[in-house]
Amino acid sequence: MPLRPGWQARWLARVSGLLLAVLAGPLSAAGLTLTDDRGRSVSLPAPPARIVSLAPHATEWLAAFGAAPRLVGLDPHSDYPPVLRGLPRLSAYPTPDVEAIAALRPDLVVLWGAGLRRSALDRLAALGIATFVTEPHGLAGLAESAQRLAPVAGDAVRAAQVLGAFRATLAALEARHRTDSPLPVFIQVAQQPLFTITDRDPLAQALALCGVRNVFADAPGLSVAVGPEAVLARAPRVVIRVQGGQETEPWSRLGVLAPTGPLRMVAADPALARPGPRLPALLATVCAEIDAVRRPAGPVRAQG
């Protein structure tokens, strides 16, 4: 029997609707009901037409899910993708500028949970503005957090593709390095003062997929200030610099960088520290450079 014209479009629409239901959770007659990362129920009459994002990682997820045309305001640090750079910038911390947010007439405001005060949520609620708090915890929680936000974009097929690629790339990196002997590394996130992170931080958990061992894995807290001598005492083979610029101090001054010293330096894009959709691709680049140190026959990028 010949297929009726338009069956492909109808089939895709049906699949898209099913995926949206899976990603979004309950859909009522009144619209869309979500649960944010704090367990708060967020009810919307429809996928929002005007969105303010005050979290850089959420901005990137929303754009990746296809919601870039509906973003109307961002925090000052949301700098990707470039197409969004002309949007109005709003203060986010320590306190969101509620009046400036309201002036943009958003249907939804997405806020980063770190340091967010309940009073800010209450003020926005008093103005009838819906809010979604994004607060991913640990590497395992990144995709789950993004999945809770995905229905906001209204394109379930695209969201499923983005999240599937995110998970698959991380799984492939973990599988590739599963049998490697862990390479001791120092993760440098700031230079003056010298700061590192522990394995409680999602960035350190992501870097572990490259087959490395964080020499400050078990230090207290999420981040810690350390001295160069304390770092060298733990004998890392690689300094992974996750910060802007090309500065190599204090390691150059101490004469410990290759080719004359024992340390290699790998410069990672600072965006690697952002729990957004670019993380797997940026991590793969760092893993390749670490592999070059682990297997010296491969190319090693010039120090910089």
- Which tokens is 53 given? 């994002």
* Cα separations in angstroms, 180 against 174, 177, 214, 216: 10, 5, 14, 20
Q: What is the pLDDT along the chain (304 residues), one digit of tens a residue?
A: 333 433 333 333 343 444 444 444 443 444 899 999 999 999 999 889 999 999 999 999 999 999 999 999 999 999 999 999 999 999 988 789 999 999 999 999 999 998 888 899 999 999 999 999 999 988 989 999 999 999 999 999 999 999 999 999 999 999 999 999 999 999 999 998 999 999 999 999 999 999 999 999 999 999 999 999 999 999 999 999 998 888 899 999 999 999 999 999 999 999 999 999 999 999 999 999 999 999 875 444 544 4
- Residue 238 — φ and ψ, nearest 5°? -135, 140
- Give the pLDDT of residue 297: 57
Which DSSP helix (H) or strand (E) runs through 267? strand 264-268
How would you class 260 by CB atoms within 10 Å of its CB: exposed for 0-12, middle for 13-18, buried for 19 or more?
exposed
* Cα separations in angstroms, 121 against 51, 64, 118, 202, 215: 15, 26, 5, 26, 39
Parallel, antiparallel, or unpaired: how do β-strands 212-214 and 183-188 relate? Answer: parallel
Domains and CATH numbers, the chain: 7-163 (3.40.50.1980), 180-294 (3.40.50.1980)
Q: Judge whether 52 and 72 are in contact, CB under 8 Å.
A: yes
